Structure 1
Amino acid sequence: MESTKLSYDQEWVIQISRAIEEGLEESDEEGVPVSIFSVPKSLISFKPEAYIPQLIALGPYHHQRLELFEMEHYKLTSAKRLQKNLHPIKFCHLVNHIAESDSTLRACYHRFLEFDRETLAWMFAIDTSFLLEYLHTYSAKTEGSLVRISSKMAHLIDHTRRKTAHHAIVGDIIMLENQIPLFLLREVHKFFLLHEDHDQALATMLMGFCKDLLPIKYINYQHFREECFERAHLLELLYHMFAPKLQLVPDCEQEEPKADEEIGWFRKALKSFLAALIYINLAPLRLLSKICKSKAIMLLVTLPFTILSYVLHLGNKGTWKVHLRSCCGLESINFDNCCGKFYLPVIHLDDNSEVVLRNLVAYEACIAPEVMIFTRYTELMNGIIDGEEDVRILREAGIILNRLKSDEEVATLWNGMAKSVRVTKVHILDKAIEGANTYYSGSWKVRMIVAMKKYVFGSWPCLTFLAANTLILLSTLQAACTMYNCSKIFKAL
């Protein structure tokens, strides 16, 4: 045991000393921002499978996981196909080329990478070969050896993008911890196409990938080629395509509980009390109606309960609902106070949407931008959607295009999306939310519920005392009438 520990310590010292020596000779990593992070534990604890690769590992973070080892065979198949395209150049030449960028590659990752230079270069060469073969399914071209998928890979990758395995792979590819630097993807791609416009071909593939995966499709692709290679990796490319750059607004102060939540809690408590009160007093009320030979007393006694129940029922139907309209993107979210229209971007949801959305939130949390607009957007949608009824309204309004099994799955997707993430004010979204809340608060139904909360529920001890005495009085009256046969007395009168 001691000898094993000693050899491990010696290996660690060798690696560290080598890294320091190489750092003195090279300064490529200076100025290279960290872009590939570990997902915060506060996020990963809610749904680990949305952040941890389930089928394939790309890059160093999950390279040694045994449950993903099966896919190594298919990654080697992609590397062999690349070797054929490189002929007479050998694959090891590509590995050596990647090794020259070792310090720059390491600087992209938040974690310390324990692999030596050669191991890391081979890892990146093989993983990038597979990623490029996968991305070729999004190419506009339909001919050429690179576009044809080998028979060994046909069950995993296809141009129609309909196979289950294909969707499972894309879910892993877009995860934050599974990213490969885009500059490396660009360099390796040059070894594929020796006589063509490398950047144009790769930009076409990346554009097809983004179009297929982006939840919000309204994107300006006019300057895509010039801008796409400025991004660090695929997830960052997705993020910057529809997260507009906005100015910073000071951090949010501690927000008061939402009016909807307070009203919902009050409504449930009051409805439960009314139901119990009516049930308990059903027998005395029937007795009173028999005694008086009329339903007048029954009507008078139950009328307040009926009105309260009706108002609460209206509140339960979602009085916040306004006229929903679609808009172009996150920066176009708006609420029109004049006509009560809420403008929201159209969002496409499918099997990979939750993984995409959650990893975009995780990436935004890691880079800590001045304005966390995407996180704020997920909070807005989470606030609007409580259940499948809300999803149905948004779907019928054309805001949500649902390709999942049910509206209930969509509601589950949004609930809790942005938990444990620092939030900043986003002027555009906050203004729309404030306008919708003001419009909602001006409704007479909401005013009535708020008034009930303030004046009725605020007097709860008094109401409880009166209800208890009423029950005692009615019970006493019932017992007396049973004993003295009140119905005959009233007939005589």
Structure 2
Amino acid sequence: MASLDSSITSSFDEQRWVIQIRNTFDEEDEEDVRIPVSVFSVPKALLSTNPEAYTPQLFALGPYHHWNPHLYEMERYKLATAKRTQKRLQKLKLEQAVEHFMKKEPKIRSHYHRHLDLSGETLAWMMVIDASFLLEFLRNYADAEGKAFKKATSMSHMVDAERMKLAYNSILRDIVMLENQIPLNIVRKILRFQSTSCEIADRQLSTMLIGFVKEVSPFKVMDNLSSIDTKRYAHLLQLLYFVVVPKVKEESKTNEIEDHVDVPESNEEKPPTDPSYVKQLFNSVWSSASDSKIVKVLIIKPFKFIAKVPWKIITHLPGISILAAPIGNLFFSGDGKSEDEESGNRPPLVEEIMVPSVTELTKAGVKFSPTSGDLTTIAFDVKTATLHLPTVSLDTNTEVLLRNLVAYEMSVESGPMVFTRYTELINGIIDTKEDVKLLRQKGIILNRMKNDEEVAKLWNGMSKSVRLTKVAFIDKVLVDVNKFYDSRWTVQSRKFAKAYVFGSWQILTLLATVLLLVLTCVEAFCSVYSCGNHWSVLSDTNAGGGGD
């Protein structure tokens, strides 16, 4: 125990701790500004589903993954970018920029949720180098339409030409990861050091960010996005989030929505789950008909034979168990539980919104219409039975962005989790590649991936560890869609057959038993009156008549 305490004491730098505390109080004396935490760790429930979607694979930006060995190999490219940045500085050396950020150390640390075991100078150098790299990457989007990066020479100084496309996709995925964010105001400050005025620097950065958002966002950005307030957003992922998901005020109607909107309740009476009512029916019929002599000859003897059949052995025979098991259970109440009853006690493996798939909705008469807006355009028109969904463009980089937007929302947002609910909605209506195909044909999905099956896998994997959340306007859409779907006569007839016929083993047992009794009675009757002889004579007569 003493050795453990001594090791902790030796690794603790008291002088650095005192300096950090002193700088914190000095910073608060200069300007009492509270900066909310914006860079969080990805929740473990999400990280376990697809670690590569949340962990940078090529470049580390910021302190969370800076010391990973497989990422440190690319530091030379960032250092080369920093050297080029120094040449653009207006009468300023890079070391002077580092000294400036050392004075802002408490503000920089306040952006990060984790404790950063770094000295102020180390953190400042890291921010200057990473911000220079990010700034040079964003320069490729100076064109408002985001086309500049497609030129082969745009990043030839950063990677080899033959690895251009691969490097671009890898860098882009790393840049949008939640744990790989750096404060945007540091990028803004370095650009100001390179510009003649603050206004010019802010205008240039706004143009870069607009091009970046329009190129990267999977949703169509509104045309009126002509400028971006560079002071408003903490980092790139937060900017993408608020462009895609504008602030939504939760209405008071939220409480009016049922707690279980995912599973609409049915007004139809459910059949009794206790199979004893079938036995009572047979007992009453048996007692009233047992006095009849015909019944004794034609029914009682076959019935006694059925009762003597070793059903426990027959039910284990292949091919017979499906029919024999329910008949045996009807006459002999076993103590064991059925497979369905046992599975009813198991927890669900995947939480998914209870809503019909695109294929099922289409068969029920629901139409789909694309919108060019953000997620607030999700709506269901009851009169025309049209479900309006925003157009989403999917490529090899989209899954990483979608997952990290969900992670950001789960970590930061205290209000309605609109984006998470949207992913749950799409996950609910997409089950197979046929669902993706229908949405693609309607223009709701723009597929740049390999095939529709890849898109289906993407959405089906999104909500495996995402908790369900309530969002008023999306939940209203779910209620309206389910209500319309359940009102269709084809759906009602199918549900009735499933619940009362195919889903009710009692009725199937009754039908099978009656059929078996009828066949046994016919066999007994024919054994007494020689039905086979009469049938052969009748056949010969018909054949002779046909000859004439």
Partners of 1:333 and 1:24 in 2: how far apart?
A: 48
1:326 equivalent in structure 2: 370
User: Counterpart of 1:68 in structure 2: which amino acid?
Assistant: L
The count of residues paired between Structure 1 and Structure 2 equals 437
Find the counterpart in structure 2 of residue 170 from structure 1.
172
> How far off its partner does 1:221 sit?
3.8
User: Contact 1:348/1:402 (CA < 8 Å) preserved in 2?
Assistant: yes
Distance, in Å, in 2 between the alignment partners of 1:238 and 1:61 is 21
Structure having the higher Rg: 2
Q: Deviations over 1:50-74 (max 9, x none)?
A: 1111111100000111111111111
Q: 1:177 to 1:489 in 2, by over 3 A?
A: same
Match for 1:70 among 73, 83, 94?
73
Please state if 1:454 is matched with 2:499.
Answer: yes
- In structure 1, the residue matched to 2:277 is none
Matches of 2:143 and 2:500, distance apart in 1: 66
* Residue 202 (str. 1) matches residue 205 (str. 2): yes
Give the counterpart letter for 2:76 in structure 1: H
Any unmatched runs of 5+ in structure 1? 261-275, 282-314
Secondary structure in 1 matching 2:73: helix
Partner of 1:492: 537
SS in 2 for 1:138: coil
Q: Measured at CA, do residues 447 and 7 of structure 1 come closer, stay the same or move farther in structure 2, by a change above 3 Å?
A: closer
From 396, 407, 411, the counterpart of 1:351: 396
> What corresponds to 1:340 in structure 2?
385
1:92 aligns with 95
Residues 203, 317 of structure 1: alpha-carbon distance in 2 compared, 3 angstrom cutoff: closer
Determine the C-alpha separation between the residues in 2 that align with 1:55 and 1:467.
Answer: 65
Cα distance in 1, alignment partners of residues 391 and 37 from structure 2: 32
**Is contact 1:34–1:109 with CA below 8 Å preserved after alignment?**
yes
Aligned to 1:429: 474
Query: Does the C-alpha gap of structure 1 residues 419 and 30 become closer, same or farther in structure 2, counting only changes over 3 Å?
Result: farther
Equivalent residue number for residue 463 of structure 1: 508
Tell me how far 1:259 sits from its aligned partner: 6.6
- CA–CA distance in structure 2, aligned partners of residues 111 and 172 of structure 1: 19
Residue 239 (structure 1) aligns with: 241
* Equivalent position SS for 2:455: helix
1:53 aligns with 2:56: yes
> How far off its partner does 1:468 sit?
5.1
Contact 2:176 2:236 in 1 (8 A): yes
Q: Percent identity?
A: 43
Deviation at 1:228, TM superposition (A): 4.0
Aligned counterparts of 1:205 and 1:185: Cα–Cα separation in 2: 12
Residues 162-189 of structure 1: CA deviation (Å, up to 9, x unaligned): 7121011100000000001111110011
* SS class of match (1:76): helix
Distance across 2 between alignment mates of 1:317 and 1:430: 17
Instruction: Specify the alignment match of 1:14 in structure 2.
Output: 15
CA distance in 2, matches of 1:447, 1:91: 72
Question: Which residue of the other structure, out of 116, 120, 126, is the alignment partner of 2:119?
Answer: 116
Q: Secondary structure at the match of 2:140?
A: helix
Indicate how the Cα distance of structure 1 residues 322 and 215 shifts in structure 2: closer, same or farther if over 3 A, else same: same
Shift of the 415–7 alpha-carbon distance from structure 1 to 2, 3 Å rule, reads closer
Q: Is the 8 A contact 1:319 1:440 kept in 2?
A: no
CA-CA distance at 1:387 after TM superposition: 0.8
Alignment TM-score, normalising by the size of structure 1: 0.79
- Residue of structure 2 equivalent to 1:292: none
Structure 2 residue 459 is matched with structure 1 residue 411: no
Counterpart of 1:21 in structure 2: which amino acid?
R
Contact (CA 8 Å) 2:501, 2:507: kept in 1 or not?
A: no
Query: Which residue, out of 132, 137, 162, partners 2:135?
Result: 132
Deviates more, 1:207-216 or 1:461-470: 461-470
Find the aligned partners of 2:478 and 2:361 in 1 and give their Cα distance: 20
- For each residue in 1:261-296, what CA deviation from the matched residue of structure 2 results, as whole angstroms up to 9, or x when unmatched? xxxxxxxxxxxxxxx89x989xxxxxxxxxxxxxxx
Question: Which residue of structure 1 lines up, in the alignment, with residue 109 of structure 2?
Answer: 106
Of the structure 1 ranges 45-54 and 329-338, higher mean CA displacement relative to structure 2 is found in 329-338
Query: Over aligned residues, Cα RMSD in angstroms?
Result: 3.4
1:485, CA displacement in angstroms?
10
> Could you report, residue by residue, the CA deviation over 1:355-375 in whole angstroms, capped at 9, with x for unpaired residues?
111111111101123111111
Q: Which residue of 1 aligns with 2:216?
A: 213
TM-score, normalising length from structure 2?
0.72
- Displacement of 1:469 in angstroms is 5.7
Choose from 482, 487, 490 the match for 1:442: 487
**How far is the alpha carbon of 1:154 from its aligned partner?**
4.1
Secondary structure of the 2:36 match is: coil
Give 2:405's aligned residue: 360
> Alpha-carbon deviations, 1:426-482, whole Å to 9, x = none?
222222222211111111110101222332246422422432563576589799999
Structure 1 residues 206-250: Cα deviation after superposition (integer angstroms, max 9, x where no partner): 11110011111132544533x343011100000111212222255
Partner of 1:153: 158
